[in-house]
Amino acid sequence: MKAELKLLLPALRRFAYSLTGSMADADDLLQNTILRLLDTPPAEGIPLPQWAFKICRNLWIDDYRAQKVRLQAANKPELRHENISDGEQDMLNNIHLSEVNTAMNTLPDEQREVLSLIAVQGLSYQEAAKILAIPAGTIMSRLARARAAMVNALQNKGSWA
């Protein structure tokens, strides 16, 4: 399993980044995903990639909900977490990836997950449907809406028009 996990790491890291929008958060999510995978390997007959993406997504949802609760409870500006730019983000700003990232972050979570699994990770509709536990038709619908929203956002930004 460890050898297969090593091969899966780059794709899993890209997926974590597409969910979080931050490399630091993506690395934390990836680490938590790997720890969970090592503690609870997939059941017999479940492919490791499917199990890994599902765990990553579920951990992200749990963390997202926890952050939302903490922000509502804190309600003090001095306690809010601020994103700090680093050299890697500056490099991304110089190429159009930051615009794509911004456009992806405007998508609803359901559409962003599907777009990431299909367009970024290269999974099939059926594989994405298994990971997200929804019908393939729903995958296609969410993907179509996500793609249309991305085209609209990027054209309105003026970088791809």
Give residue 82's identity as a one-letter amino acid code: E
Q: Which residue has the tokens 């793609």?
A: 147
Structure tokens at 106: 């405007």
**157 and 106 assigned to the same domain:** yes
Given a cut of 90, whether residue 156 has pLDDT beyond it is: no
Same domain, 73 and 94: no
Mean pLDDT value across the chain: 81
What average pLDDT does this structure show over 88-117?
Answer: 74
What secondary structure, in 3-state letters, does 77-90 show?
Answer: HHHCCCCCCCHHHH
Q: What's 154's domain CATH number?
A: 1.10.10.10
pLDDT digits (tens, 9 = 90+) for 52-63: 999 999 999 888
Place of tokens 């903490």: 70
Q: Are residues 79 and 1 in the same domain?
A: yes
Query: Is 93's pLDDT higher than 70?
Result: no
Number of domains within the chain = 2
pLDDT surpasses 70 at 89: no
What is the domain range of residue 1? 1-83
Domain boundary, last residue among 83, 101, 117 = 83
pLDDT tens, residue by residue, 40-81: 888 899 899 999 999 999 999 888 777 766 666 666 554 444
Rounded CA separation 161/154 (Å)? 7
Q: What share of the chain is helix, strand, coil (3-state, %, to 5)?
A: 80, 0, 20
Q: What is the CATH number of the domain that holds 64?
A: 1.10.1740
Global pTM? Answer: 0.54
- Asked if residue 55 lies in contact with residue 37, where contact means CB atoms within 8 angstroms, the answer is yes
Residue with tokens 């500056």: 90
Helix (H) or strand (E) holding 79: none
Read off the pLDDT of residues 129-151 as tens digits, 9 standing for 90 and up.
999 999 999 999 999 999 888 88
Q: Are residues 8 and 26 in the same domain?
A: yes
pLDDT at 88 over 60: no
Residue 18's φ and ψ, nearest 5 degrees, are -65, -30
Q: Domain end: 83, 118, 141, which one? A: 83
pLDDT, residue 78, reads 47
Q: What string of DSSP letters covers 100-148?
A: HHHHHHHS-HHHHHHHIIIIIT---HHHHHHHHTS-HHHHHHHHHHHHH
